[in-house]
Amino acid sequence: MFQFMTATRIIFGEGALNNSLSLINNYGYSVLVVTGKDDKRVEPLLGYLKQQNIRYQRLAVHDEPLIAMVEEMAAAGRLFKPDMVVAIGGGSVMDVGKALAG
């Protein structure tokens, strides 16, 4: 597992998700979850959130993100008022996650 810290925390590498789920509890009680097409990749996170009674809203990125798509997701995120953004997926998912967190 590797960590890269800037203004936010990015954790990556084999086993990173399962080894870092408990960190979510340090940041609040609601999560905006940004994912890609692979539902299996996000199952451990969603299961953990349900187990901890943490509310979440999931937004899925299926293609290259367009500005209009990011603006629409940002509007949905503002209505949800999350304490944090968690993005799980590839480059497009990470890009959208960073944009929404901003």
Tens digit of pLDDT per residue, the chain (102 long)? Answer: 766 556 566 777 888 888 888 889 988 999 999 999 888 889 999 999 999 999 999 999 988 999 999 999 999 999 999 999 999 988 999 999 999 998
Residue 15 lies in a domain: no
Residue 23 lies in a domain: no
* pTM for the predicted model, two decimal places: 0.85
CA angle at 93 for the pair 6 and 5, rounded to the nearest 5°: 10
Residue 39 lies in a domain: yes
Residue 3 lies in a domain: no
Structural domain including 80 reads 29-101
Determine the pLDDT at residue 50.
Answer: 96
* 76/14 Cα distance (integer angstroms): 31
